[in-house]
Amino acid sequence: MRDEILIPLPPSIHEVSEGREAIFQVDGLYPGYGTTLGTALRRVLLSSLPGAAATRVKIEGVDHEFSTIPGVKEDVMTILLRMKQLRFRLDFDESQIARLDAKGEKEFYARDIEAPTGVEVVNPDLLLATLTKKNASLAIEIRVESGVGYVPREKRNPEKMEVGAIALDAIFTPVRKVNFEVEDMRVGTETNYNRLRVAIETDGSMSPREAWREAITILQNQLAALQGEAKEGEESRDLAFRPSTFQKKIEVPSSRLSQEEYFRMRVADIGVSSRTVRVLDAAGIKTVSGLARKSPDDLRSLDGIGDKALQEIRRILGTMGLSLKVD
């Protein structure tokens, strides 16, 4: 019988395409937890991560999407469909305006968009329009906004629309595809523990590593809120998290990583919250080895590391058999 639900190993990461595709493998999951966690992660990754998208456009001389533009090969509907495929990285919460001013006989791509500071087009090779005459012109104003998931244009308030603006279906999610698979693995004498592999493909506005960390943070926050709701039943809650007294402990298999292998891991890959990762990264602490050489007081001196973050770091290092430096 099992003594307790073991904490899984930190994920190993295999990058298929730099910044866009990666496979995350988690070993040592309690039986059945592979499907439980894989389903939850997939749902969050596809529906709940923030991103940026074009939400409305104004095309000079065009009143509705069923128009055509003199000297432009594509009709307005085709141009709007391509506008929906634009992917942005937005550094602000407020909406921003980008512009395309096309003139002359040539093809115009997303890289020709004039974007303000803090707005980056991440798919510059997307064809937007083809002008077929030397005196042809095309002027488009694009509103870029941040959001979550998918928002159809019907949900936008028409009263807030500028005159001549055409609303777009907004695809904010930065994740294009998520798949996961679960297989059995051996832990000690047990052979039905789970190995979980999650394949993530993003649009380039967010790396798979960032998407992975963001999804885990969202799930952590949701579960923490549920735990907080049980304050009136402290006794029952304690019982719910207390290991059974009649179960025996399973030995951790010797196939787990060595201390040297843990030391070489990046802090960003061990399950620390994204905010803590940013603080540590800014302080030059990028590996587990560098983190373990710091004392609690060293970390508390960093702006953004409080008791909660310190507790999180200690817990994660503890699962590796490591600890912070003793003062």
How far apart CA 249 and CA 2 sit, in angstroms, is 6
Distance of CA 212 to the CA centre of its chain: 5
The pLDDT of residue 3: 55
- The one-letter code for the residue type at 247 is Q
DSSP codes of every residue in 268-281: GGTT--HHHHHHHH
The pLDDT of residue 158: 61
For the cut 70, the answer to whether the pLDDT of residue 255 exceeds it is no
Most confident segment among 6-20, 196-210, 218-232, 313-327: 196-210
In the DSSP assignment, the letter for residue 104 is S
The overall average pLDDT reported for the chain is 83
In the DSSP assignment, the letter for residue 287 is B
Q: 71 near 139, Cβ under 8 Å?
A: no
Per-residue pLDDT band at 238 (split at 50, 70, 90): very low
Token digits for 164? Answer: 């001549």
For the cut 70, the answer to whether the pLDDT of residue 251 exceeds it is no
The pLDDT of residue 137: 93
Token digits for 54? Answer: 């074009």
Residues contacting residue 193 through CB under 8 Å, at least 6 positions apart: 28, 29, 30, 31, 184, 185, 186, 187
Q: 313 near 276, Cβ under 8 Å?
A: yes
Query: What count of other Cβ atoms lies within 10 Å of the Cβ of residue 233?
Result: 11
Q: 298 near 287, Cβ under 8 Å?
A: no
Of 215, 88, 66, the C-alpha closest to 145 is 88
CATH of 1-49+174-244, one of 3.30.1360.10, 3.40.50.20, 2.130.10.10, 3.20.20.70: 3.30.1360.10
Higher pLDDT, 317 or 2: 317
Q: What is the mean pLDDT of residues 32-60?
A: 93
User: CA quadruple 221, 173, 25, 291: dihedral positive or negative?
Assistant: negative
Q: 20 near 208, Cβ under 8 Å?
A: yes
Window from 56-70, 78-92, 156-170, 235-249 with minimum mean pLDDT: 235-249
Q: What is the mean pLDDT of residues 136-146?
A: 93
CATH of 257-327, one of 1.10.150.20, 1.10.10.10, 3.20.20.70, 3.40.50.300: 1.10.150.20
Q: What is the mean pLDDT of residues 42-69?
A: 91
The pLDDT of residue 240: 36
Q: What is the dihedral of CA 83, 86, 89, 95, to 10 degrees?
A: 10
Per-residue pLDDT band at 76 (split at 50, 70, 90): very high
What is the 3-state secondary structure of 56-89? Answer: EEEECCCCCCCCCCCCECCCHHHHHHHHHCCCEE
| CATH architecture, domain defined by 51-171 | Beta Complex (2.170)
pLDDT in tens, 273-292: 777 888 888 888 888 888 98
Per-residue pLDDT band at 247 (split at 50, 70, 90): very low
Per-residue pLDDT band at 102 (split at 50, 70, 90): very high
Token digits for 161? Answer: 């629309």
Q: 313 near 290, Cβ under 8 Å?
A: no
Residue % of the chain over a pLDDT of 70: 87
pLDDT in tens, 178-230: 999 999 998 878 888 899 999 999 999 888 999 999 999 899 888 888 876 54
Residue % of the chain over a pLDDT of 90: 40
The pLDDT of residue 327: 64
For the cut 80, the answer to whether the pLDDT of residue 162 exceeds it is no
The vertex-98 CA angle with 94 and 100, nearest 5°, equals 170
In the DSSP assignment, the letter for residue 91 is -
Give me the residue spans of the domains in the chain: 1-49+174-244, 51-171, 257-327
Higher pLDDT, 51 or 273: 51
